Amino acid sequence: MIEITSTNIARAIEKARQTKPFVKVIAFRHYQVINKVTGANYTVKFSKINNRKFAECDCKATVVCYHIGASIGAHIVLAEQMHTAPA
Ligand SMILES: [Zn+2]
């Protein structure tokens, strides 16, 4: 699990904008990110511990990757719909 900070998530969102992967909601805080070109897909999960935000992705990256960046947009929308703070 990697802690999300405003710096590392901004970088990941920027990379996701360039890559434009497809994000599928599996469950709240649980997403599948699919690369439309290669068909590769990865699972991203978010969690919140003591008001700190964490994410994990099953790709090889050890930083906040663009899969997490792509998922967080869907995640924020869902979290707002559920009247909870974004994880
Ligand atoms: Zn990833």
Give the Cα separation of 60 and 49 in Å (integer).
23
Q: How far does residue 83's CA lie from ligand 1's centre (Å)?
A: 27
- Supply the mean pLDDT for the chain: 92
Q: Which tens digits make up the pLDDT trace of 25-63?
A: 999 899 999 998 999 999 999 999 999 999 999 999 999
Q: How far does residue 39's CA lie from ligand 1's centre (Å)?
A: 14
Q: How far does residue 20's CA lie from ligand 1's centre (Å)?
A: 13
Q: Which residues pair with 45 in a beta bridge?
A: 30, 56
Give the Cα separation of 74 and 67 in Å (integer).
11
Predicted pLDDT at 31: 96
Check pLDDT > 80 for residue 83: no
Q: How far does residue 63's CA lie from ligand 1's centre (Å)?
A: 8
More confident residue, 76 or 29: 29
Taking the alpha carbons at both ends of the chain, their separation in whole angstroms is 13
Q: How far does residue 8's CA lie from ligand 1's centre (Å)?
A: 13
Check pLDDT > 60 for residue 85: no
